[in-house]
Amino acid sequence: MSEDPREALFRYRDSIDNLDAILIHTLAERFKLTQAVGRLKAQHTMPPSDLAREDRQIQRLRQLASDSGLDPAFAEKFLSFVVGEVIRHHEHFAREAGTDQAGSAEADARSDDQRDHGTQQ
């Protein structure tokens, strides 16, 4: 006897809702850590962005996405969006600490590059 499609739909949606909650909680934890990084960078007059690390992260997450059956381009767009928000937080901390510096120019250059490659934040 086959399963009632409404029951299956309910189960799928329940699982999706649980995964959405995991994503939100995971992002919240990630932002707690990146905000700590931003404060540390501001205290020690370090630039808000690190283009070399961002490039390594993009490559690492594209590979993870591919290995997981997820479109690497989608994963890159998602990471670019998250990193863009992180950089904005870091720049805010730098301004608060009075240490705003060349990192903003790096972030602007990264944004320009992302626009050129279709990976807008």
Q: What is the pLDDT of residues 23-62, one digit of tens each?
A: 999 999 999 999 999 999 999 999 888 899 999 999 999 9
Lowest-confidence segment of 6-10, 61-65, 87-91 by average pLDDT: 87-91
In a domain, 40, yes or no: yes
Please return the burial class of 76, using the count of CB atoms within 10 Å of its CB with bins 0-12, 13-18 and 19+: buried
Q: Residue 112: give its domain's CATH number.
A: 1.20.59.10
End-to-end alpha carbon distance in the chain: 48
In a domain, 121, yes or no: no
In a domain, 29, yes or no: yes
In a domain, 64, yes or no: yes
In a domain, 87, yes or no: yes
Q: Render pLDDT for 94-103 as a digit per residue (tens, 0 to 9).
A: 888 886 554 4
Cα–Cα nearest to 91, from 41, 62, 52, 48: 48
In a domain, 51, yes or no: yes
Give the number of domains in the chain.
Answer: 1
The boundaries of the domain holding residue 32 are 5-116
